[in-house]
Structure 1
Amino acid sequence: MGGMEKFLGSSRRSFDIWSELPPSFRESVLARPAADVRSVHDGISGSKGTWRPVRPSFVDRTHFDELGRVSARLMRLILDACRRRAATVGELQDVLGVDETDTPLLSRAEPLGEHLLVAARPDIVYRSGVPYFVEFNIDGALGGTLQADLLAARFRALYHRLPGGHRIDAPPSAVDSRFAEIRTSLGLPEGSRVAIPVFSKGAAPGLEDPDAFLAWLAPMCESGRRHGMDTVACTMDRLETGADDVLLLDGQPVDAVLRLFLSADQPPSPGLDALLRAVRAGRVRMHTSEATWLLSDKSTMAWLWTDKEFLPEDDRRLVERHLPWTALFPGHGRQGDELLRYALAHRTELVLKPTGGYGGGGVVLGPETGDEEWREALDHARWAGRHILQTHVTPDRLALDFQDQETGAVEHAQVPFVVGPFMFGQAPSGVLVRHGVPGGGPVLNAHHGALMSSAVLVDRC
């Protein structure tokens, strides 16, 4: 771990090494016709508006590998923090204070084991070249795998014949890594039937229509079939249960479900009820069980800071260097009073987040609010409970040219960005990069106007 600490952020200005690439290569990239850039983004859902970046992020392959190792270690530390407080999923649910209605697919008797670390995507922000893990999504319901894969592959193809293009490569496919892990982790035999139900609440921009969503998932189904599974995307209403609560899709038994949604968010339906019955009866497997959603609770990051003095030295240094300070809010008794006073006095240094939120919902950036608005947010959090305070990481900026897909106009901007390497089987694959646009806001989520982009890898020698 010492070597990892030395490398990550010690000598690199930031995640993107575009400015370090040979001038001849950069000139060739920027000289590509507008139609080529437009074709890279053609048909890729998940981003609102008409701005699109003319290039991806360029990442040193060694840095990509090290980032994967740090991510894998942090996943394990998060699970360890949970296991210090609970032995089963139900016990963890109680410690976190998560209402049972929020996770209807949960099996409370499920043990807290390493089988839960099969799918993840951290949210990483860079400051002065150092990566900070501001959130860690340990769950199977990870969006953006196909977007990341397609963009990286298309940009890679665009640069293949340019001078120096032989050193540019796409990361391992996140989609293929996901389906390989589904089959391995669930122990599915050849020919097992896997269903991918589409959903309405929380779908990425452009995928709100079920038919569009089904069409979008076609490459994922193809990947599942390449990995030996009969993989079918379907609307929720095509699911039903048969004898002994076996889950059926169009009358045929389903062995496993790729869950891309949080069940509590979805509207009631006979298909969702069928899935609930089958899961509760133990008649169908899921990638992943909703137990993983509990590991994504932001309380776990506060626990790492609470526990850090008891960790081995290398792990303690890892937490201190790569996790922004995080504390449960509102806290209890005198400690809670002190935390409130600290939050009021240090607004510009802090972020307030719901512990169970996602998609940027409920996040309040202290530097972006006034004193009165900040106090009101803190008062609401004290009443509602289940929030964290976290040190605000002032992000490095990504210098990009953007093309308007309708007019062809190009504009340069330096935008905030967040990096999300997909981790399947605790190994890194495709990278989802979300960043702002010219004139955009500070919350980097697709539903708040941020763009989904990707990264390509650079071999230095």
Structure 2
Amino acid sequence: MKPGTSSWFGARPFPTTNRSPSDVVSTVLRHELRDCGTWLHTQPVPTEPFALSRPAYDELFTATRSLLALLRRALLEAAPTRQGRLAALGIRSTANSFPFFVGDDDFELRHCDVMARPDIVIGPDGPRFLEFNVGGAFGGPTETHRFSQAWTRLYGGPASGLPFTVDDPHEARAELLEDVCAELGLRRAVALVGNRVDRRCETTRYFDGEAAYLRERGFDAEVLEPHDLPGVTGRAGRLRFPLALRYFSPADWVSRGESLDPVHDLIAAGCVLYPPESSYLVANKKLLCRLSKGESWMNDEERRLVARYLPWTRATSDAKVDWHGEPVDLRRLLMAHQESFVLKQTVGMMGHGVVIGRLCPEPRWTAAVSRALDAGDSVAQEYVEPGRYELEMVAGPGSQPYHVSVAPVLSPLVFGGRPGGVYARYYPDGRAGVVTVARGGAMENVAFAAA
């Protein structure tokens, strides 16, 4: 273990003796991840993946599956009907944010937790789950697949005896889609519906790799952008693609003036949009609040699991909350302990609406607390100081490798319960805070388990 690395990681760095030189590493990574929305061409490049011990790697997936099951249970327990569940989560309008519900509520709920990517920091006591991204649009699968391919090549390939094991997100998701086609009696043909603009890409290369992988698995697979959709609906029962992998957020399309009508037409023609709309309800942070507070249906083991992995999280309102066994006014608590809390909107991604108390001026925090409490659209979460990892990186060709103590966010990818690798983001200069790629320029990598 490198000096300065959190003891939780518990694995020695992967050996450099059988790894390609740093100049080759930077060239291969930049080539493999080209036009995939990364910052590899403008930021220092990692010369190694993050190293985890096998127990640490397995813990991430075991905890992810267990917490995801509890989030699904919390959604089902919130109300017996869809409208009741929406009301319980404070969702008043579904027109733009949740426009694709189908009439089969059993299908919606049966498949609502099939694709997930939690965001985890390694705190003083180990992994702490800050939020769950659930659905098909979250980033990470393509990046993880391509980083994994690059590191495999850079360490000499499988024949040379890799020092790590690789779980492939494309393989895990393909197996899930095979199960879905078998369950629903669908022909193995899937459209990957997305938009290169969403991924900050010039071409559809971000999606093309997964489509090619699916074709290798026997699917008819194609990438469809918004302008492609009107031409593939066909007549009911004669759809070219009976299944569509949802690689987009409706809010992103609406914000750019893209019409959602072609997607509605696909669904009306009999296409199954996957995963279903209820996936995005599982991602609602108010469900984390329910688990953190404790629900009457939770048993002791489930309460211990939540206490172990979830930071204290509560919905924002002018009310009293339990804080370390004492009832306290939430507004006073947040104002008196600014450095101990983070505010997040209940529905959001890429760091939108996140305010970290210790990293902002008091006037901004005061205004953010007032807005969140008045709107009731956010959660307050206890801040977790992220553990550090001494990562080797290189500024560019001809440069000497150097180490930086970074604060990674780790994201195990799960598809139908199957592990799809661990996606990682961090700032190369060692900053912590809101770690986002699109808005913050965070660098990406993967975390492997030592073989």
Per the normalisation by structure 2, the TM-score is 0.87
Alignment of 1:409-428 (within 5 A): 410-428=401-419
Per-residue deviation at 1:439?
A: 5.8
Q: For 1:34 and 1:362, how far apart are their aligned partners in 2? A: 39
Equivalent of 1:125 in 121, 124, 144: 121
Report if aligned partners of 1:105, 1:263 keep a CA contact under 8 Å in 2: no
Tell me: CA distance 1:333–1:366, structure 2 relative to 1, closer, same or farther (3 Å). closer
Equivalent of 2:227 in 237, 243, 255: 237
Q: For 2:20 and 2:227, how far apart are their aligned partners in 1? A: 49
Paired-residue identity, %: 24
Equivalent of 1:384 in 375, 378, 384: 375
Equivalent in the alignment of 2:448: 456
Equivalent in the alignment of 2:265: 277
Equivalent in the alignment of 1:105: 100
Tell me: CA distance 1:195–1:16, structure 2 relative to 1, closer, same or farther (3 Å). farther
Tell me: CA distance 1:53–1:288, structure 2 relative to 1, closer, same or farther (3 Å). same
Unaligned runs of 5+ in 1: 1-11
Tell me: CA distance 1:242–1:151, structure 2 relative to 1, closer, same or farther (3 Å). closer
Report if aligned partners of 1:152, 1:455 keep a CA contact under 8 Å in 2: no
Tell me: CA distance 1:412–1:65, structure 2 relative to 1, closer, same or farther (3 Å). closer
Report if aligned partners of 1:245, 1:283 keep a CA contact under 8 Å in 2: no
Tell me: CA distance 1:227–1:190, structure 2 relative to 1, closer, same or farther (3 Å). farther
Equivalent in the alignment of 1:85: 78
Alignment of 1:314-353 (within 5 A): 314-332=301-319, 338-353=329-344
Amino acid at match of 1:144: G
Per-residue deviation at 1:449?
A: 1.1
Q: For 2:236 and 2:86, how far apart are their aligned partners in 1? A: 27
Report if aligned partners of 1:415, 1:435 keep a CA contact under 8 Å in 2: yes
Report if aligned partners of 2:109, 2:278 keep a CA contact under 8 Å in 1: no
Alignment root-mean-square deviation, CA: 2.9
Equivalent of 1:226 in 208, 216, 220: 216
- Secondary structure of 1:18's partner? coil
Tell me: CA distance 1:138–1:321, structure 2 relative to 1, closer, same or farther (3 Å). same
Tell me: CA distance 1:333–1:342, structure 2 relative to 1, closer, same or farther (3 Å). closer
Equivalent of 2:421 in 426, 430, 436: 430
Equivalent in the alignment of 2:354: 363
Tell me: CA distance 1:274–1:105, structure 2 relative to 1, closer, same or farther (3 Å). same
- Secondary structure of 2:408's partner? strand
Tell me: CA distance 1:315–1:418, structure 2 relative to 1, closer, same or farther (3 Å). same
Deviates more, 1:215-224 or 1:110-119: 110-119
Aligned length: 432
Tell me: CA distance 1:138–1:89, structure 2 relative to 1, closer, same or farther (3 Å). farther
Per-residue deviation at 1:62?
A: 3.2
- Confirm or deny that 1:183 pairs with 2:178: yes
- Secondary structure of 2:348's partner? coil
Per-residue deviation at 1:224?
A: 1.5
After superposition, the C-alpha distances for 1:239-275 in whole angstroms (9 at most, x for unaligned) are 1278897498xxx632011101111320477873121
Per-residue deviation at 1:451?
A: 1.0
Q: For 1:321 and 1:243, how far apart are their aligned partners in 2? A: 48
After superposition, the C-alpha distances for 1:285-320 in whole angstroms (9 at most, x for unaligned) are 022112101110111100102225652222111100
Unaligned runs of 5+ in 2: 1-5
Report if aligned partners of 2:318, 2:329 keep a CA contact under 8 Å in 1: no
Alignment of 1:36-185 (within 5 A): 36-44=25-33, 45-48=36-39, 49-98=42-91, 99-101=93-95, 102-107=97-102, 110-111=105-106, 113-128=109-124, 130-160=126-156, 166=161, 168-185=163-180
Q: For 1:363 and 1:247, how far apart are their aligned partners in 2? A: 45
Amino acid at match of 1:182: L
Question: Whose helix proportion is higher, 1 or 2?
Answer: 1
Equivalent in the alignment of 2:3: none
Per-residue deviation at 1:225?
A: 1.6
Report if aligned partners of 1:104, 1:264 keep a CA contact under 8 Å in 2: no
- Confirm or deny that 1:216 pairs with 2:216: no
Q: For 1:310 and 1:243, how far apart are their aligned partners in 2? A: 44
Tell me: CA distance 1:390–1:295, structure 2 relative to 1, closer, same or farther (3 Å). same
Per the normalisation by structure 1, the TM-score is 0.85
Amino acid at match of 2:343: L
Amino acid at match of 1:238: D
Per-residue deviation at 1:96?
A: 1.0
Per-residue deviation at 1:142?
A: 2.4
